[in-house]
Amino acid sequence: MTSRWRHQAFAYVIAVPFAIVLAFPFFWMAVTSFKPEAQVYDPTKVWTFHPTLANYGFLFHHTGYLRWLRNSTFVGIVVVLITLAVAVPAGYALARLSGRVGRSLGVAIFLTYLVPPTLLFLPLSRVVSKLGLGDRLWALILVYPSFTIPFAIWLLMGFFKAIPQELEDAALVDGCSRLGALVRIVLPVSLPGIITVVIFTFSLVINEFVYAITFISSSTNRTVTVGVPTDLIRGDLFNWPGIMAAILIPSIPLALVYNAFLNRFITGFTGGAFR
Amino acid sequence: MPDTTDQPAEEQARISRRDLLRKAGAGAVALGVAGSAAPFSFAGPLRYKGRWLKGDLSIIQWVHFVPAYDDWFDNTWVKQWGQANDVQVNVEHINNTLLDTRAAAEVAAQSGHDLFFNLHPMASYEDQVINHASIINEVQRKVGKYGSLAKLSTYNPKTKKYFAISDNYVPDPVVWRHDLWNGIGESPATWDHVAKAAPKLKAAGHPIGIGQSQELDSNMALIAFLMCFGSFIQDEHNRPTLQSKNTVEAVKFMASLYKSGEDAGIFGWNPASNNNYLYSGTGSLILNAISATRTPESQHLPFSDNLWIWPIPAGPHGRIGLEHVMGCYSIWKFAKNKENAERFLADLCIHGKDATVASQLYNFPSFPGAFPFKSIRKLAAADKNKPNGKYSILTTIAEKYTHNIGYPGTTNAAIDEIFSKYLIPQMFAQVSQGKLSAQDSVRDTMSVVKGIYSKWRKRGKI
């Protein structure tokens, strides 16, 4: 019992400071979002202030915030679907390609993920323009998979590799087709990896800034990442409560999703990597 | 790993993940509903609904540092001009730090806005833009000569092309806390005075705030600082002259000023940082346009009456400043609505007075005849903010101490590249951070500068 208590105490000693440090920005964000704007710079009102919903009201009624949220969500969902549609079969094929070819191809695909958007946005501008997608959300839907798919393939490849070949062989012997084995045997076992891809891809898309600021012009087509700094920072005037409210809102559902699938998310990241 | 599910008491004390999700979800929904129900009315952006207009015009420009200007521009000027000319005008505002990125993207795509505004003349895009001479001539016929500052900033004497048109520029004073400086018996009349005061101010918890970062304000402040020390990036014939004893002295001086009177934060600043440094009550002196005083006034910050503006401190070579912002519009060759863009620009410049008034004296007209200095001085003197008449000095700064980037030469493609790559702040920062000696930093920078000049000379732009 003493040993167990010690074990738990040790875990808390390590975890609690981390939790405080990591949670504090969110706490601060939440507090500031309820502060009247005039009290943000007032050092005497750090904790004692009159909470207000005016900042949320401003966001919803005086900016295109709801539209930005809708745009971000729409782009995020479509990109996740495209990424899954491409990365699952690609990752599976690469995982089952034995020898050096599979490994090299996998690494080569992952390397494309490392090319930063700050280099790619110029050539991609021309592509987007030629396709007539300028200032349309479809420009982002076209471009974002260029960095989500390589990472997803690499992640899923590792995961598929960890699934014993014997499972599929058994399914094939039982009369399953290759596709059937993939759908009925491999995918259910790979669910943590797929969930990881979904969450990670969605987060990447929601956070992306460079392509969004480059390819989207009109206020109506902006995503949250572009709308917030453009409409809530007026020159040197930072509408801090508004900014905090704008960031807090999308971070709540994301945090909930992360929390709901935390165990699978960890398995997804570590499962393929260590086997 | 021990299984803990056989401990019901402990389990009940915890909030399960499902509970957490349920409660947090309910909280998020409540927040959203409550926020959306807050008492505000919606004012949508739709204009000219149901009306077909003859033409279109798209404009991209910065989010002005004086919000009142954008209100006037979007809701009064653009609206009235659009109705008068039967043109649907769409204005996009983006953060000033993103303008260069956006320009690069539009050029790469050969597609973009009809009018592109930037805070510095985009001389390196000369081949991508039309010659703006005809617009300038038209405005000159109405309000008189194009100001020499604007001409030196937007005209290439080598190719005889106006690669942009400036509708406004912004004087760049030093903004300082009179109460703090008075407390130590000093004032920023010269750089020697600043150096003397800096350690005392820092010791009192109010350091100086001159940036050495890769951003606009650091660029402007440090290039102007160099000029006060007799160091110039180029001469009047647009030949590079950065490597000089004066440059080394200036860099050493600034490094010493940093060590005695500034914080390390200056190396990571953005264009709003020095303003915010002042607003927080910490900074005692910055080099910035009057947005730095207008915001404290509008927010009724306790020290706003103690913010004084003066011309740049004098150095061994005198008092030589730069404009803080050179507002320049360019029309791309690939713009779809060139005619509308030209008409709009001409009208905007002709009505320079309205812009100056709307910007609360931030913008000065690049065509001085649009709103002569005498009239501006009168308007400035009537400003009610304390100390009375503090803005009158702006006209003196504009007339006597405001020069173009690249002075005594013209603003050209090489200067544009040096400016856009932030080579000057980098040169200073390397020394202030102790990474290089002043001599080495200046020599290294000069070698890059020479390469840039050689490149643009080969392209026939200098």
Residue B131 distance to chain A (closest CA, Å): 24
Q: Provide the angle, in degrees to the nearest 10, between the axes of the packed helices B99-109 and A117-130.
A: 40
The reply to whether residue B105 touches residue A121, judged by beta carbons under 8 angstroms, is: yes
Q: Nearest-CA neighbor of B462 among B402, B405, B389, B413?
A: B413
Q: Please report the pLDDT score of residue B39 as a whole number.
A: 37
pLDDT at B181 over 70: yes
* pLDDT tens digits for range B27-52: 544 544 444 444 333 333 334 444 44
Over residues B82-100, mean pLDDT: 91
The rounded percent of chain B whose pLDDT value lies above 70 is 88
**What single-letter DSSP state applies at residue B460?**
T
Q: Please report the pLDDT score of residue B26 as a whole number.
A: 57
Chain A CB contacts of B21 under 8 Å are: 256, 259-260
Residue B139 distance to chain A (closest CA, Å): 29
Q: Please report the pLDDT score of residue B17 as a whole number.
A: 53
pLDDT at B20 over 70: no
Adjacent-strand bridge partners of B48: none
The reply to whether residue B21 touches residue A256, judged by beta carbons under 8 angstroms, is: yes
Over residues B76-104, mean pLDDT: 92
The reply to whether residue B17 touches residue A259, judged by beta carbons under 8 angstroms, is: yes
Residue pairs spanning A and B at CB distance below 8 A:
130
Residue B188 distance to chain A (closest CA, Å): 24
Over residues B259-274, mean pLDDT: 94
CB A82 within 8 A of CB A150: no
**CB atoms inside a 10 Å sphere around CB B41:** 6
Q: How many CA atoms lie within 13 A of A187 on its CB side?
A: 12
* pLDDT tens digits for range B216-228: 999 999 999 999 9
Q: Nearest-CA neighbor of B394 among B380, B405, B404?
A: B380
Ranges of CATH 3.40.190.10 domains, chain B:
55-168+325-380, 174-323+383-458
Chain B CB contacts of A217 under 8 Å are: 58, 60, 92, 113
Chain A CB contacts of B113 under 8 Å are: 217
Model confidence, pTM: 0.80
CA-angle at B260, arms to B255 and B264, nearest 5°: 70
The reply to whether residue A236 touches residue B40, judged by beta carbons under 8 angstroms, is: no
Task: Give A21-76 as a 3 state SS string.
Answer: HHHHHHHHHHHHHCCCHHHCCCHHHCCCCCCCCHHHHHHHHHCCHHHHHHHHHHHH
Chain A CB contacts of B95 under 8 Å are: 229-230, 233
* pLDDT tens digits for range B391-429: 999 999 999 999 999 999 999 999 999 999 999 999 999
The reply to whether residue B28 touches residue A129, judged by beta carbons under 8 angstroms, is: no
10-residue mean pLDDT series, chain A (275 residues)? 80 90 91 85 73 91 92 96 95 80 81 84 89 92 94 88 85 86 86 88 92 87 91 81 92 84 70 48
Q: Which of B45, B67, B105 sits opposite A237 (nearest CB)?
A: B67
pLDDT at B255 over 80: yes
Q: Please report the pLDDT score of residue A241 as a whole number.
A: 92
Residue A122 distance to chain B (closest CA, Å): 5
pLDDT at B383 over 70: yes
Q: CATH homologous superfamily of domain B174-323+383-458?
A: Periplasmic binding protein-like II (3.40.190.10)
Residue B36 distance to chain A (closest CA, Å): 5
Provide the pLDDT confidence category of residue B65 given band limits of 50, 70 and 90: confident
Chain B CB contacts of A62 under 8 Å are: 40, 42-43
Report the residue of chain B nearest A261, measured CA to CA.
B17
Domains and CATH numbers, chain A: 64-271 (1.10.3720.10)
Selected for mutation to probe chain A from B101, B216, B359 (highest A CB count within 10 Å) is B101
**What single-letter DSSP state applies at residue B86?**
T
Q: Which of A215, A236, A253 sits opposite B291 (nearest CB)?
A: A236
Chain B CB contacts of A245 under 8 Å are: 35
**More confident call, B4 vs B270:** B270
Chain B CB contacts of A5 under 8 Å are: none
The reply to whether residue B292 touches residue A38, judged by beta carbons under 8 angstroms, is: no
CATH numeric code, B55-168+325-380: 3.40.190.10
Chain A CB contacts of B106 under 8 Å are: 125
Q: Nearest-CA neighbor of B171 among B378, B393, B383, B352?
A: B393
The reply to whether residue B2 touches residue A4, judged by beta carbons under 8 angstroms, is: yes
Report the residue of chain A nearest B103, measured CA to CA.
A214
Selected for mutation to probe chain B from A237, A239, A251, A252 (highest B CB count within 10 Å) is A237
